[in-house]
Amino acid sequence: MAKQHMKLHFIALLLVLGMFIPAGAEELPSWVKPWKDFAATQGDPVYKEWAERLCTPEAIKLGKEWEEYLGYNAVDMVAKDTKAPSIKPGLVITPENVKQYEKELRELLPYGFDWEVDRMTGTGLFAGYNYSPLEMVIVPTTHAWNDRGYMEASKKYAGTCTVDDKNILRGWVAGIPFPKPKTAIEIVHNYDRLTIMGDNLNSLPLTFGYYGRDGKQEREEKIELHWQNYVGRIKVPPFPVIPGFEDIYEKGSIVALYPYDLRGFAAVRTRYKDDKAEDSFVTYIPSMRRIRRLSGSNTQDPLVGSDISWEDWKGYWSKVSIHPAKYELLGEAVVLCPSFNPRPIKYEEKYGGRSQRYWWERRPVWVVKITYDEPSYIYKMRTWYVDKETFAMQQMFWHDQKGRLWKVWDWAWRWSPDNGELDYWNPCILDVINKHTTIATHTITLNMPNLSENLFNLRYLSSKAH
Amino acid sequence: MKKLKFTVVALIVIAFPLQFAAAKEKADAGAGSASGTNTYQIFCRPFSINGFLMQEAAIGFDPKFAGKNVSDYSTMQLEWTYQISEGVSLYGINRLFGDLAYQIQSGKRWWQEANNTPAQKSRARNNLAWEWTKNDQGAEFFRELYFDIESKHVNFRIGRQQVVWGESDGLRLMDFINPQDLRREWVLRDSDEGYEYTRIPLWLLKATYFPGIEPFCIRDLQIEFILNPGKPKQNRIELYEADGGVWATNEPNLPYTTRVNVNDIHPHGIRTRNMEYAMRIMGNFKEWLFTLNFYYGTQPDVILKPKGPSLTIPPWDRAALTLNFDREYSWRRIVGFTINREISQIKLGGQTAPVLRVEALYEFKKPFQNEGKRIGDMAWTGLNPKYGLTGYKKDKDQLRYMVGLDWPVYLRFLNSRESFFCSAQFFMYYIFGLDGQLVNAPFYFNEKVSKDALPPLPGSYNSDRIDPWRIHKTQKYFSFLVNTQYDNKRIVPQLLFLYDFEEHGYAIKTKVNLAYGTHFRPELGVMYIHGDHDTGKSFGLFQKNAQVYLRLKYQF
């Protein structure tokens, strides 16, 4: 009896003690530790703040769920990779010290992505055009994830997705169609269906800075951008489709704010679910003062003087059904990628150009190559690094039809560990043949409830018309 | 004195925001990058302002003005918006426009000759020198000024504005709400830029209703009502070079003893009996973007109403006989529609599909100048007793339509990076129930008659002095516009071609725009017009406007 009493007392004591043990004292997952330790040793408040954001209960819960769903996390995968041991967190690689790390850096940027190194050395592609130097701030690998909505939708609907013999996605309802992709085309569809990494988006404003052959800013343009998904919705009700718009994948609208010769140009672009249907592209052209339909199939011209076209919108916005291509998975690798930067890329006049400084880390990626069959298509080839955790593009380059490396683009994703929202900061796109650069600076809000349909219809154009 | 005062005030108004803009630019440059949308706060509400200064210079190459500096247009324009509250804004365009050629060339003999014609020797044509002169009814300092009021289902626009309808470029069909100032280079001045400089704004009330319903699967349904409270305006073309300057249309051939006198009886001020009404229904039916259009208003072009001849004694300029006419502007009743759609079934090289544009309108009882049963009856002169003074016109129904294709085409061997935008349009005008002959009076006589002392009188059939510009039962026109863009839209060459099938006249405008940097936009272009120089038919009216021009624009 006395023994039983003791047992009861002991259990009660444990329960009471349990109440006083703080939640944070629970052991952190292994994938948080590298960042936490790194922040503690560096003493930089930005690192500390970021490490804390990775450790919030919401972030850890979501990170665990995604890890469980995918069956891996980037931190563990990268830990197994032993190449380039000198490139470690805390190191800052600049054009001044790059020589010391060049060999290892090139090792960490396989499949032709070592143009990132050329930017620092001023050799290769950048021998005659060295105005975009880079400062790589190496940070620990982050276990990253998408919005919970993508995971839940993927769990529910991924099983219904297939790719037909023409590489067209069938059976998709919402979420990531192939969370465990086996082929390049599945990876391409995954990225395509992430669309804007949410259900809707405002970028107020989106600023394009154009830089010429001499590296100087030649022009600046500002637009207002709105985007909305009508099917495959994962976060903002209604799910998964906005009733009455079942035939529409997504719509985007813009109005140009600056400079004067562009000001007032407005457009609404609609992408239909039907793979054979061209986009609808209805514009208000201020010089004509008319609402006018432009050819939605004309997707290959540069947008408002920039180095991107509708084909490159958000990195890739091509229609598989319209531009037949060969999709190859070149491999999987641990590579050096732009990290999830809590601040926009810092641009400054340095090293004789407009230098970028932001965080880089080792990440597991798929390497995808797309080779186009059409000789009249603007590109011959696209090559991507695609992140194995977020399914998002990390770096890319394009070859023109003559087989010359034409444009390069890397991303510095803005990411919220609490909810997995991923969106854009201010990446630059470099045209290394014509020697100009576009820096696209976003000011993004994602997943707004009650985003008005009047931003995506003729009324929007009418209201912008003068 | 008044003029001087106006000029000074206008310049101060223009200069003030320029200074403001310059100051802001300087501050931005100090911060690192030149950024801005030129938006400021006035009484805690956003006020945005943009604009441009533009100087143009043209050298003629028509034999009449070959090598002459025929025009030097100067433009200062401000475009601004003041957001008074969430749903209310005030929008304005202020423009100062003039032609420095009047100052630069004033002492030159060729200029003086061009500025004084036998028909209107008594009237100076300096009123095209600057747009704000008292003779110019279209003073454009407040070119546009209107309130925009937005509510849940209805948007209102109240004030001086342009309303642009239709789908066609180059020639206007459905774009008829606002008249046009055609005195300078005719349609070539800005037909490739949407008539931005030549459309004449009107004081209008426009209400657009968005019902928010989708009847018969029609998306984005909206209904637009337009009311002109009673101050219509007409096209300005200046047939007698009165204030058309050296660019006005060629004067009709007349015997040298004859003069045409046209009285301006156009009502001034606002008259409720001159109210105009229009309505447009717009929607999207399975990607067919359509409009249905209705209009009741006044004709934009003059019909000559004969008032009988008179004699001038003594004939001080040798023209003893005066043919007197009143300008007559009848009512205009139009119904029409426009549609457009991308025709994705047609693809060139598997790449791009064209956009089909169709615009059609039916005009009831459109007045035409009547020639009579056969050429030579000259009913429009009022001199033929068979037709009297009332048989000068005929009201006929007319169908006008345009079918056009816009097609971006990739010609990689000419431009490896960008498409060629090709826009071809076919226009057809058809008059129902035409019996007899209609003419564009007074373009009636050929040049031979200018040497005669007396005009051919009614009944002079088969006269070799008569070669009227007829209005055919079916008239056909064609237009073709092509442009492309190099260096990421920084070099933009363009060609516009217009052709009149009936009179075999044509016009070409080709130009190159440069868009480097944020502020400067130079343009170099050539306009060439070919028509019947002798009779001045169709494009022949304007062929002396052939010119090479340079335009330098600074925008902010």
Q: What is the mean pLDDT of chain B?
A: 85
Instruction: Tell me if A284 sits within 8 A of A465, measured CB to CB.
Output: yes
Does residue A309 belong to the interface with chain B, where contact is any CB pair within 8 Å? Answer: no
Instruction: Tell me if B124 sits within 8 A of B115, measured CB to CB.
Output: yes
Q: Is the pLDDT of residue B23 over 50?
A: no
Does residue A96 belong to the interface with chain B, where contact is any CB pair within 8 Å? Answer: no
CA gyration radius, chain A: 24
Does residue B500 belong to the interface with chain A, where contact is any CB pair within 8 Å? Answer: no
Instruction: Tell me if A232 sits within 8 A of A172, measured CB to CB.
Output: yes
Q: Could you write out the three-class secondary structure of B28-83?
A: HHHHCCCCCCCEEEECCEEEEEEEEEEEEEEEECCHHHCCCEEECEEEEEEEEEEE
Q: Is the pLDDT of residue A224 over 80?
A: yes
pLDDT at B545: 86
pLDDT at B170: 81
Q: Is the pLDDT of residue A159 over 90?
A: yes
CATH annotation of B37-555 = 2.40.160.10
Residues 6+ apart with CB under 8 A from B95: B75, B76, B77, B78, B131, B140, B141, B143
| pLDDT class of B347 with cuts at 50, 70, 90 | confident
pLDDT at B244: 57
Using a pLDDT cut of 90, give the percent of chain B over it: 53
For tokens 């990290």, the residue is A339
Task: Give the model confidence (pLDDT) of A429-440 as tens digits.
Answer: 999 999 989 999
Residue A134 in any domain: the answer is no
> What are the two backbone dihedrals, phi and then psi, of residue A190, each rounded to the nearest 5 degrees?
-60, -50
pLDDT at B133: 57
**A122-131, A278-287, B254-263, B333-342: segment of lowest average pLDDT:** B254-263
Q: Which residues of chain B from 420 to 479 reach within 8 Å of chain A, CB to CB?
A: none
- Nearest to residue B372, comparing CAs of B383, B362, B364, B356? B383
Q: What's the complex ipTM? A: 0.87
Q: Is the pLDDT of residue B142 over 70?
A: yes
| pLDDT class of A361 with cuts at 50, 70, 90 | very high
Q: CA-nearest residue of chain A to B348?
A: A376
Residue A247 in any domain: the answer is yes
**A361-365, A374-378, B128-132: segment of lowest average pLDDT:** B128-132
Helix axes A45-54, A33-42, angle to 10 degrees: 160
Does residue A247 belong to the interface with chain B, where contact is any CB pair within 8 Å? Answer: no
Q: Is the pLDDT of residue A24 over 50?
A: no
Say if the Cβ atoms of A280 and B287 lie within 8 Å: yes
| Maximum average pLDDT range among B33-37, B95-99, B126-130, B203-207 | B203-207
- CA angle A388–A233–A423, rounded 5-degree value: 50
pLDDT at A26: 62
Does residue B520 belong to the interface with chain A, where contact is any CB pair within 8 Å? Answer: no
> What are the two backbone dihedrals, phi and then psi, of residue A128, each rounded to the nearest 5 degrees?
-110, 10
- Nearest to residue A409, comparing CAs of A423, A422, A398? A398
Residues of B whose CB is below 8 A from A285? 194
Rounded Cα–Cα distance for residues B459 and B452 (Å): 17
pLDDT at A10: 62
Does residue A301 belong to the interface with chain B, where contact is any CB pair within 8 Å? Answer: yes
Using a pLDDT cut of 70, give the percent of chain B over it: 87
Helix (H, G, I), strand (E, B) or coil at B126: helix
Does residue B338 belong to the interface with chain A, where contact is any CB pair within 8 Å? Answer: no
Nearest to B342 among A288, A295, A300 (CB): A295
How does B191-212 read in b/e, with b if 16+ C-beta sit within 10 Å? bbebbbbbbbbbbbebebebee
pLDDT at A17: 52
Say if the Cβ atoms of A434 and B521 lie within 8 Å: no
The one-letter amino acid at B461: Y
> What are the two backbone dihedrals, phi and then psi, of residue A455, each rounded to the nearest 5 degrees?
-90, -5
Rounded alpha-carbon distances, angstroms, from residue A393 to A279, A366, B456: 23, 10, 81
pLDDT at B27: 33
- Nearest to residue A356, comparing CAs of A174, A232, A215? A215
The one-letter amino acid at B92: G
Residue A358 in any domain: the answer is yes
Task: Give the model confidence (pLDDT) of B357-389 as tens digits.
Answer: 999 999 999 999 999 999 999 999 999 999 999
pLDDT at B52: 96
Residues of A whose CB is below 8 A from B52? 260
Task: Give the model confidence (pLDDT) of B498-515 as tens digits.
Answer: 999 999 999 999 999 999
How does A157-192 read in b/e, with b if 16+ C-beta sit within 10 Å? bbeebebeeebebeebbbbbbbbebeebbbbbbbbb
Instruction: Indicate the burial class of B117 (C-beta count within 10 angstroms; 0-12, 13-18, 19 or more).
Output: middle
Total count of residues recorded for chain B:
556
pLDDT at B455: 78
pLDDT at B124: 44
Helix (H, G, I), strand (E, B) or coil at A264: coil
Residues of B whose CB is below 8 A from A260? 50-52, 79, 555-556
- Nearest to residue A331, comparing CAs of A391, A405, A386, A392? A386
Residues 6+ apart with CB under 8 A from B548: B58, B59, B61, B524, B525, B526
| pLDDT class of A223 with cuts at 50, 70, 90 | very high
| pLDDT class of A208 with cuts at 50, 70, 90 | very high
Say if the Cβ atoms of B412 and A376 lie within 8 Å: yes
* Count of domains for chain A: 1
> What are the two backbone dihedrals, phi and then psi, of residue A222, each rounded to the nearest 5 degrees?
-125, 135
Residue A137 in any domain: the answer is no
Residue A139 in any domain: the answer is no
Helix (H) / strand (E) containing A152: helix A148-157
Higher pLDDT, A22 or B300: B300
Instruction: Tell me if A336 sits within 8 A of A360, measured CB to CB.
Output: yes
Rounded Cα–Cα distance for residues A231 and A249 (Å): 6
Tokens of B508: 């070409």
Higher pLDDT, A19 or B531: B531
Task: Give the model confidence (pLDDT) of A269-296 as tens digits.
Answer: 999 999 888 999 999 999 889 999 999 9
Does residue B418 belong to the interface with chain A, where contact is any CB pair within 8 Å? Answer: yes
Tokens of B214: 């989708």
Higher pLDDT, B82 or B531: B82
- Nearest to residue A287, comparing CAs of B411, B521, B336, B467? B521
| pLDDT class of B267 with cuts at 50, 70, 90 | low
CA gyration radius, chain B: 25
Rounded Cα–Cα distance for residues B292 and B336 (Å): 6
Task: Give the model confidence (pLDDT) of A231-258 as tens digits.
Answer: 999 999 999 999 999 999 999 999 999 9
Does residue B151 belong to the interface with chain A, where contact is any CB pair within 8 Å? Answer: no
How many Cβ atoms from other residues are within 10 Å of residue B103's Cβ? 13
Q: Is the pLDDT of residue B539 over 70?
A: yes
Say if the Cβ atoms of B354 and A295 lie within 8 Å: yes
Q: Which residues of chain A from 185 to 224 reach within 8 Å of chain B, CB to CB?
A: 205, 207, 209-210, 217-220, 222
Q: Which residues of chain B from 176 to 195 reach within 8 Å of chain A, CB to CB?
A: 193-194
Bridge partners, B356 (sequence order): B341, B405
Higher pLDDT, B371 or B258: B371
Residue A364 in any domain: the answer is yes
| pLDDT class of B127 with cuts at 50, 70, 90 | low
pLDDT at A427: 84
Does residue B91 belong to the interface with chain A, where contact is any CB pair within 8 Å? Answer: yes
Q: Which residues of chain B from 378 to 397 reach within 8 Å of chain A, CB to CB?
A: none
Nearest to A436 among B283, B355, B488 (CB): B488
Residue A445 in any domain: the answer is yes
pLDDT at B316: 72
Q: CA-nearest residue of chain A to B344?
A: A278
How many Cβ atoms from other residues are within 10 Å of residue B489's Cβ? 18
pLDDT at A215: 84
Structural domain of A423 = 148-464
Tokens of A28: 């952190």
Task: Give the model confidence (pLDDT) of A52-72 as tens digits.
Answer: 999 999 999 999 999 999 999
Rounded Cα–Cα distance for residues B129 and B74 (Å): 10
Rounded Cα–Cα distance for residues B186 and A417 (Å): 63
Residues of B whose CB is below 8 A from A244? 214
Task: Give the model confidence (pLDDT) of B279-328 as tens digits.
Answer: 999 999 999 999 999 999 999 888 999 998 898 877 777 778 888 999 88
Does residue B108 belong to the interface with chain A, where contact is any CB pair within 8 Å? Answer: no
pLDDT at A230: 97
Task: Give the model confidence (pLDDT) of B402-433 as tens digits.
Answer: 999 999 999 989 998 899 999 999 999 999 99
For tokens 């050395």, the residue is A121
Rounded Cα–Cα distance for residues B365 and B367 (Å): 6
pLDDT at B537: 85
pLDDT (mean) for A398-418? 94
Helix (H) / strand (E) containing B270: none
- Nearest to residue A111, comparing CAs of A394, A326, A301, A425? A394
Higher pLDDT, B313 or B206: B206
pTM of the entire predicted model: 0.89
Tokens of B352: 């791009």
Q: What is the mean pLDDT of chain A?
A: 92
Distance in Å, alpha carbon of B443 to nearest chain A alpha carbon: 32
Task: Give the model confidence (pLDDT) of B428-453 as tens digits.
Answer: 999 999 999 999 988 888 888 888 87
Q: What percent helix, strand, coil does chain B show, rounded to 5?
A: 15, 45, 40
A457: CATH: 2.50.20.10
Does residue A33 belong to the interface with chain B, where contact is any CB pair within 8 Å? Answer: no
Nearest to B220 among A302, A434, A459 (CB): A459
> What are the two backbone dihedrals, phi and then psi, of residue B381, each rounded to the nearest 5 degrees?
-80, -20
Q: What is the number of alpha carbons within 13 Å of residue A101 lying toward its C-beta?
A: 26
Q: Is the pLDDT of residue A205 over 80?
A: yes
Helix (H, G, I), strand (E, B) or coil at A339: coil
**In chain B, where the domains are located:** 1-36, 37-555
- Nearest to residue B494, comparing CAs of B442, B385, B421? B421
pLDDT at A11: 62
| Maximum average pLDDT range among A153-162, A297-306, B243-252 | A153-162
Tokens of A88: 């470690």
Q: Is the pLDDT of residue A16 over 70?
A: no
Q: Is the pLDDT of residue A21 over 70?
A: no
Nearest to B355 among A207, A261, A293 (CB): A293
